[in-house]
Chain A
Amino acid sequence: QVQMQESGPGLVKPSETLSLTCSVSGGSVSSGVYYWSWIRQPPGKGLEWIGYIYDDGITKYNPSLKSRVTMSVDTSKNQFSLNLRSVTTADTAVYYCASVGLGEHDFDYWGQGNLVTVSS
């Protein structure tokens, strides 16, 4: 069973870059079996899909965030990462990493979430 855990700073200043990493165990980020996704949830609000990366570097992003998002995979550490540039207070949220199985369309495994606050 795949397990995931997010890590990264809990506080980011406005206009800077938010960087998070998701460490994966119980599965390989380069196995080609999963789409590795990021999803966020502002405090007290709903979920928003940010995007995914597939093991060979294929990415797909939410059109509303596409201009500021980059995702990458580090196969040597079995991790994948999220960079969100030029953040504002509206980017304050719990950020989850999650997986979608190849040929599937639901998020079956989730990390526990990482709260990132954007504030000066």
Chain B
Amino acid sequence: QSALTQPASVSGSPGQSITISCTGTSSDVGGYDYVSWYQQHPGKAPKVMIYDVSNRPSGVSIRFSGSKSGNTASLTISGLQAEDEADYYCSSYTTSTTWVFGGGTKLTVL
């Protein structure tokens, strides 16, 4: 299984919105609505921010939202804040009953 494709980096100014894409295949992203997104600060374990494409766990800010179209999922962060600066990873359950992650995107808040 190949890693999902994410941009290496994105950036935005405080208050702006950014979107991170995650492209897979019909065997993963396009096969199920089981895409999740993780935020990872340096030296810390990842934290789930979105699950099942567009659902937010309790306690996650409403500024985080997710969507999917075909084989591409997206994470949008609105009203950027300094604390959002982190690495973001998408993950998808696959038709082989395994999981695959994206390569990660570094978000810089300017």
Q: Which residues of A are in contact with B by a Cβ distance under 8 Å?
A: 37, 39, 45-49, 60, 62-64, 96, 104-108, 110-113
Contacts and interface: CB of A to CB of B under 8 A. Distances in A.
Contacts of A112: 45
A46 B89 contact: yes
Contacts of A108: 48, 51, 57
B64 interface: no
Contact of B98 (A60, A106, A110, A113): A60
Contact of A46 (B34, B52, B101): B101
Contacts, number: 59
B20 to A, nearest CB: 13
Q: Is the interface of A mostly helix, strand, loop or mixed?
A: loop
Contact of B36 (A63, A106, A110, A113): A106
A105 B52 contact: yes
Contacts of A37: 99
B98 A63 contact: yes
In the A-B complex, list the 3 residue pairs whose CB atoms are closest, starting with the nearest: A106-B51, A106-B36, A105-B34
Contacts of A110: 45-47
B51 A62 contact: no
Nearest to A100: B99
